[in-house]
Amino acid sequence: MKPFSQPLDDIRDYFGEKVALYFCWLGFYSVMMGYLALVCLGVYYYLTAHPVDVDPPHLQPWMVFMAIVITVWTSFHSRGWAQQQNIVKVKWGVSDFEEEEECRPQFKGELHLNPVNNQPEKFYPENKRRRSMMLSNSIILCFIVALWVFIVFIYELEKYWLDKGYAWGSLVGSLILSVQIQVLSAFYMAVVEILNDLENHKTQTDFEDGKIFKTFLFQIFNNYASLTYTAFVKTHISGCATTCIGDLRSLMITIFMTSYVMNFVELG
């Protein structure tokens, strides 16, 4: 086996195509991240050897350069993985897997005669599924709105504490937001299971796609809403001492430490 290569065929034989595809993607992603890291290291060592003023106007050319690098890297990563994935799928004979996929055992529907193969087949009206999906999306939207309201409330409460002279107000606010991320994440995963079952997807692939979409949609707001608010909104509403960079740094550290502790407790 070549250095840094993976025994993908052995993984496929033992765990199946899905797990093997995950490791294939992980290997591809690691290689692409290595290329990006080389560029970043080059920029870092150049700036270290040729010190420049840290004021934003002097760093703007490097910001533009890194933005272009990240954009090009993202494009190559997306297109490269699509090509690599198709090659592996054809090699393993699963390129048309979704067209031949069987119904989920949990799929509910009325038996109808399939006009193509003249075999009985479960059928579930698409309009019912659309109504279920609209209900699911409405519930997710309500969760997101409630999340934003909660974040604004915590920041207003933090501002009230600081105005009263409580120096610990900022730390407690960050800690509450960090715990909120962990608690809502666990709670929402249970809600996702219920909503996904309600939609009654026909195949396992559709079921997993629906679950991934719902999880991603909420988690991206749950994990980054407080950071986004601190970075771009807080200075215009609650206000900061000078800039909100210090508050953002403190919140990021608190979130990281809380996540680390929660993961440690879970493993223990």
Extended strands (E) in the chain: 110-113, 120-123
Q: Give yes or no for a contact between 156 and 177, defined as CB atoms under 8 angstroms apart.
A: no
Q: Give yes or no for a contact between 248 and 232, defined as CB atoms under 8 angstroms apart.
A: no
Query: Which residues 6+ apart lie within 8 Å of 210 measured at CB?
Result: 196, 199, 201
Please, what is the Cα angle at 171 between 239 and 188, to 5 degrees? Answer: 95
Length of the chain: 268
- Categorize the per-residue pLDDT at 4 as very low, low, confident or very high, splitting at 50, 70 and 90: low
Dig out the tokens for 201 from the structure: 């997807």
The torsion angles phi and psi of 209, rounded to 5 degrees, stand at -60, -45
Of 10-14, 160-164, 172-176, which range is least confident?
160-164
- Confidence check: pLDDT of 194 > 70: yes
- Confidence check: pLDDT of 37 > 90: yes
* Segment 125-152, tens digit of pLDDT: 888 888 988 999 899 999 899 998 999 8
Distance between CA atoms of residues 261 and 186, nearest Å? 15
- Categorize the per-residue pLDDT at 32 as very low, low, confident or very high, splitting at 50, 70 and 90: very high
Q: What is the mean pLDDT of residues 218-245?
A: 81
Q: What is the mean pLDDT of residues 172-184?
A: 89
- Confidence check: pLDDT of 226 > 70: yes
More reliable by pLDDT, 228 or 57: 228
- Categorize the per-residue pLDDT at 59 as very low, low, confident or very high, splitting at 50, 70 and 90: low
Q: Return the percentage of the chain with pLDDT > 70, whole number.
A: 92
Of 212, 204, 210, 191, the residue nearest 107 (C-alpha) = 204
Q: Give yes or no for a contact between 112 and 120, defined as CB atoms under 8 angstroms apart.
A: yes
Dig out the tokens for 206 from the structure: 């559709």
Of 255, 101, 133, 92, the residue nearest 182 (C-alpha) = 255
Q: What is the mean pLDDT of residues 24-35?
A: 93
- Categorize the per-residue pLDDT at 80 as very low, low, confident or very high, splitting at 50, 70 and 90: very high
Distance between CA atoms of residues 258 and 256, nearest Å? 6
Taking all residues of the chain, what is their mean pLDDT, rounded to a whole number?
A: 85
pLDDT at 51: 66
The torsion angles phi and psi of 106, rounded to 5 degrees, stand at -85, -5
Alpha-carbon separation of residue 41 from 8, 44, 48, 58, 69 (angstroms): 30, 5, 10, 19, 13
